């Protein structure tokens, strides 16, 4: 009986220890992120493509050839390739054709025959591309090689209506549109995914702590020394040489959860919009801040001076300006203790009713005084 009680006690003790260990892991898991959300595999990326083409079939909203002569030149060149020769002195006045730039993103590992979306944007003075169709357009990469062929009907989300008096109403942008699955891949981009002995993960945001945590999490999950942090951006992971095994291996690695490091203490200020973003690690040293504002009001009250009767004088207007200066917020002062956190800083600023512009001035003053323990970034 005594042995049975001791066994139950030991079992309960083990359960309690396991629960405590799980509770200790909960905060870390709550802030964990997957490897695929923190980094990208080196060499696995998309490639931009661009081309020049013609959109035809517009309802009188095409380029005005007198102001966009390249549209006519492109049309003549296309017709010549199709066996139609136009006299050199003939310049057709077209209203249903527009010269456009065609752009697309070629995904990684795209194979010939696959379809991708393309974006069509007017190059001339076409009013709208609604109802038009893009003629066959080669899409080239940075090396000048053709990787896809685009063609199809343009889908325009904007609308533009104009009157004869020059008035115009426009909704969104009618001079640009999309062609879903409008291009067909014709060439494969060479990839070194299976040629290197190791996979290299590049962090989206450089951080030594996150790189170290990622390498440690990968090694712990895989049960060996597979990963090595090379610097604040790159984590190298040894991978199988076989392509199928490498894909499976990468699928496991990119779903490993990592606890990223805290961001650096930073205050970002947008000088154009007045937006202020304060990081969680921002701290303020002991400082006293006084906040006040001056309100200046200038009002014009002109007076009319009338001459005396039968004095041959003239009525004149005498300007009278009244200036009032009011200082608001007098006596508004608050004190920051050592190590004040972000919450305390926001509460103190809100208590004095500081506007975004005032908050910027307070933060800049704290930085100049050496009381703000953070990097102040103005964009």
- Predicted confidence at residue 136, as pLDDT, reads 93
218 is a domain residue: yes
Q: Is residue 142 part of a domain?
A: yes
Give the model's pLDDT for residue 100.
92
Distance, CA of 84 to CA of 158 (rounded, Å): 35
Split at pLDDT 50, 70, 90, the class of 22 is very low
Picking from 137, 152, 185, the residue at the C-terminal end of a domain is: 185
Among 149, 167, 185, the domain-final residue is: 185
pLDDT at 357: 65
- Using DSSP's 3-state secondary structure scheme, residue 150 falls into strand
What would the mean pLDDT of 100-104 be, rounded to a whole number? 94
Residue 374 included in any domain: yes
Domain identity same for 181 and 67 = yes
For all residues of the chain together, what is the average pLDDT? 76
Q: Which residues contact 359 (CB under 8 A, 6 or more apart)?
A: 276, 349
d(CA 148, CA 142): 13
Residues 74 and 108 in one domain: yes
Question: Which tops the pLDDT comparison, 157 or 201?
Answer: 201
* Domain assignment present for 130: yes
User: Which residue is associated with the tokens 């661009």?
Assistant: 50
Task: Tell whether 198 and 85 lie within a shared domain.
Answer: no
Number of domains within the chain: 3
Is residue 15 in a domain?
no
Residue 23 lies in a domain: no
Q: Does 354 have pLDDT greater than 90?
A: no
Residues 108 and 69 in one domain: yes
The label of the residue with tokens 């440690």 reads 216
Predicted local distance difference test score (pLDDT) of residue 157:
80
Considering the domain architecture, whether residues 244 and 331 belong to the same structural domain is answered as: no
Contact in structure between 127 and 175 (CB atoms under 8 Å): yes
Whether 351 shows a pLDDT value over 70: the answer reads: no
- Domain check: are 239 and 201 in the same one? yes
| Same domain for 292 and 241 | no
What is d(CA 261, CA 59) in angstroms, rounded to the nearest whole number?
57
Q: Are residues 93 and 109 in the same domain?
A: yes
Q: Which residues contact 66 (CB under 8 A, 6 or more apart)?
A: 93
Task: Flag whether 19 is in a domain.
Answer: no
Confidence of residue 320 (pLDDT cuts 50, 70, 90): low
The pLDDT tens digits for 248-259 are: 888 898 898 888
Q: State the Cα–Cα distance between residues 318 and 305, nearest whole angstrom.
A: 7
Q: For residues 243 and 304, which has the higher predicted lDDT (pLDDT)?
A: 243
Give the gyration radius of the chain's Cα atoms: 34
Q: 1 in a domain, yes or no?
A: no
State whether 114 and 146 are in the same domain: yes
List strands edge to edge, sheet with 375-378.
276-278, 266-269, 375-378
111 lies in the same domain as 223: no
pLDDT at 43: 84
User: Is there a single domain that holds both residue 273 and residue 372?
Assistant: yes
From CA 23, how far away is CA 18, in angstroms rounded?
Answer: 9
DSSP secondary structure code for residue 244 in this structure: H
Confidence of residue 352 (pLDDT cuts 50, 70, 90): low
User: Residue 310 pLDDT more than 70?
Assistant: no
> Of 185, 219, 243, at which residue does a domain stop?
185
What are 142-190's pLDDT values in tens digits?
999 999 999 999 998 866 555 555 555 666 778 889 999 999 999 988 8
The pTM for the full model equals 0.65
Lowest-pLDDT range, 43-47, 53-57, 110-114, 370-374?
370-374
Checking if the pLDDT of 371 tops 70, the result is yes
Q: How far apart are CA 355 and CA 184, in angstroms?
A: 53
Environment class of 303 (CB within 10 Å of its CB; exposed 0-12, middle 13-18, buried 19+): exposed
pLDDT, position 198: 86
Range of the domain at 249: 33-42+192-258
Token pair of 252 as six digits? 């496991």
CA–CA gap between residue 200 and residue 189 (Å, rounded): 19
Identify whether the C-beta of residue 58 lies closer than 8 Å to the C-beta of residue 128: yes
196 and 288: one domain?
Answer: no
């Amino acid at each position: 009986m005594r042995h049975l009680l001791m066994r139950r006690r030991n079992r309960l003790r083990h359960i309690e220890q396991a629960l405590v260990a799980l509770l200790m892991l909960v905060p870390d898991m709550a802030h964990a992120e997957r490897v695929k959300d923190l980094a990208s595999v080196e060499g696995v990326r998309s490639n931009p493509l661009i081309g020049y083409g013609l959109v035809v079939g517009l309802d009188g909203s095409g380029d005005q050839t007198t102001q966009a002569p390249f549209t006519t030149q492109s049309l003549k060149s296309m017709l010549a390739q199709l066996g139609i020769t136009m006299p050199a002195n003939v310049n057709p006045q077209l209203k249903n054709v527009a010269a456009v730039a065609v752009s697309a993103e070629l995904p990684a590992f795209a194979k010939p025959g696959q379809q991708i979306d393309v974006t069509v944007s007017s190059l001339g003075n076409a009013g709208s591309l609604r109802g038009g169709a893009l003629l066959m357009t080669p899409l080239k990469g940075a090396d000048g090689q053709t990787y896809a062929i685009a063609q199809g009907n343009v889908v325009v989300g904007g609308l533009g209506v104009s009157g004869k008096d020059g008035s115009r109403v426009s909704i969104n942008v009618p001079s640009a549109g999309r062609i879903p699955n409008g291009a067909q891949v014709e060439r494969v981009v060479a990839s070194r995914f299976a040629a290197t002995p190791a996979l290299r993960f590049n962090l989206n945001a450089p951080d030594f702590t996150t790189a170290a945590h990622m390498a440690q999490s990968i090694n712990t999950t895989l049960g060996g020394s597979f990963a090595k942090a090379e610097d604040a951006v790159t984590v190298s992971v040894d991978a199988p040489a076989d392509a199928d095994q490498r894909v499976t291996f990468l699928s496991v690695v990119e779903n490993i959860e990592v606890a990223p490091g805290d961001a650096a203490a930073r205050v970002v200020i947008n000088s154009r919009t007045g937006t202020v973003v304060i990081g969680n690690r921002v701290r303020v040293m002991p400082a006293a801040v006084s906040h006040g504002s001056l309100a200046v009001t200038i009002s014009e009250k002109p007076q009319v001076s009338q001459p005396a009767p039968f004095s041959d004088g003239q009525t004149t207007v005498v300007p009278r300006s009244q200036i009032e200066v009011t200082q608001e917020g007098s006596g508004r002062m608050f004190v920051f203790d050592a190590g004040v956190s972000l919450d305390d800083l926001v509460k103190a600023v809100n208590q004095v009713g500081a506007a975004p512009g005032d908050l910027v001035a307070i933060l800049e003053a704290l930085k100049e005084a050496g009381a703000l323990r953070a990097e102040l970034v103005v964009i």
